[in-house]
Copies of this chain bind each other. A is one copy, B any other.
Amino acid sequence: MAKIAALSGFPEWLPAERLVEQHVIDVFREVAELHGFSGIETRAVEPLDQLLRKGEIDKEVYVLRRLHAEEEDADAAREDRSRTLGLHFDLTVPLARYVLEHQNDLVFPLRRFQIQKVWRGERPQDGRFREFYQADLDVIGQDTLPGHIEAEVATVMAEILDRLPIPEFTIHANTRRLSEGFFRSLGLEDQSAVLRSLDKLPKIGPDAVRELLLGEAGATPEQAQACLDFASIRTRDASFAQQVRDLGGSGEMVEQGIAELTAVLERVEAAVPGVIMADLSIARGLDYYTGTVFETFVTGHESLGSVCSGGRYDALASDNRHTYPGVGLSIGLSRLVSRLLTAGLATASRPVPTCVLVSVADEQHRHLSDAAARALRGRGISCEVAPTAAKFGKQIRYADRRGIPFLWFPGVDGAADQVKDIRSGDQADADVEIWEPPVEDRTVQIRATAPEGPADPA
């Protein structure tokens, strides 16, 4: 047997850890469905030419080859990228293809969520995964999509994040219209150059960005300062608007942007108070997003980067009949779960789903244990029956080692059943048709826990 070693970049969880990941997935799905989003899954592969369509060469695609494919076939396929399959590196490219392929069978606006693994062949030493879950939420319109959907998708995501066992988080919102309108009202011609420069603020700092603004963006020192001041605006309420106007922002585009961003703040605040913020430094995805944009940071875990990002785009896909605009947000789920686990931020109340281990007095009476377990399961209580009729002390230790809180003793020869709380040692008569575990023990609880070390060691 070859030596077994973990593969770097391909995370795998132990059963108790997987309970935390499953919980995050369950919460995402539950909230999305409460808001009328349909869950879909797309195949894991797309033709290589589709994957590379937007010039995404920085995403390291995994290309597939059938082991027994003829060598000539493999070489031919390598040349013809429409015949070569690659693993998807996100859920947006597949969604675009799915929407076009199934457009006649879908009702628009399509409200869809999608939680699947994606693959990127990046160097794992960057702390990046090569296989990870992404969880996406998008509303896709056919030809048109009302602006208020931007606030709606942010609201759903805020509710999801709010119900996850994570520390305090803030959704930072901005809108392209406000930024571009502001730069225009300052008299700056090359608004993309300004955005590109400001996008580098977190990495290179204001002084270096000022140089870029003066150089590449052709700004005067006053204009550069106004842009930097603009990008430093962060408000929890609509007061960002007056600050923008005070910096010289004016005109129809600026006022439209203000109205859009104010609506987003108000709707998210009404649904989940205290999590949304206007942050006019947010610029992401220059060529892709066209309306409101979002990034989300977890307090004390800023080194994770944005855990949930997205925004409005005007063309997810198009063919000669229709264009499909959308609003989408995406959680890097594995990265978030990995941090929850490694920093001890969330734990399962027990490592197994089992609430009760039903003991076995001897193999001749195993059917009594089976019957007791069946009755408890009939009332939704997770049970397993002891694998062997070992001495009770050994069965207690087995339950303890597995983290099962209760041990059930079926009564033999007409005696009453008994149940023991492994943690307290309390033992009492009990009836399989009536007994209830404490509500917090009935199912596994995933709890946010105090971090074990400094919040953000990076």
A interface list, Cβ under 8 A from B: 1-2, 4-7, 10-15, 18-19, 21-22, 33-45, 47-50, 53, 57, 60-69, 82, 85-87, 97-98, 100-102, 105-107, 109, 111-112, 117, 119, 121, 131, 141, 145-146, 148-149, 152, 267, 270-271, 317-319, 351-354, 357, 363, 366-367, 370-371, 374, 377, 380-385, 387-388, 401-402, 404
Contacts and interface: CB of A to CB of B under 8 A. Distances in A.
A387 B98 contact: no
A384 B36 contact: yes
A109 B387 contact: yes
A35 B4 contact: no
Contact of A33 (B38, B60, B353): B353
A98 B12 contact: yes
Given A1-B317, A36-B357, A270-B370, 5 more contacts: A12-B43, A22-B39, A34-B383, A35-B382, A36-B382
Given A34-B383, A100-B4, A270-B367, A41 B18 contact: yes
A339 to B, nearest CB: 18
Nearest to A404: B36
Contact of A146 (B49, B100, B388): B388
A315 to B, nearest CB: 11
Given A1-B318, A270-B367, A18 B45 contact: no
Contact of A131 (B6, B39, B44): B44
Contact of A41 (B13, B37, B97, B354): B13
Nearest to A360: B148
A109 B384 CA distance: 11
Given A1-B319, A82-B2, A267-B370, A146 B354 contact: no
Contact of A62 (B14, B21, B53, B65): B65
A404 to B, nearest CB: 8
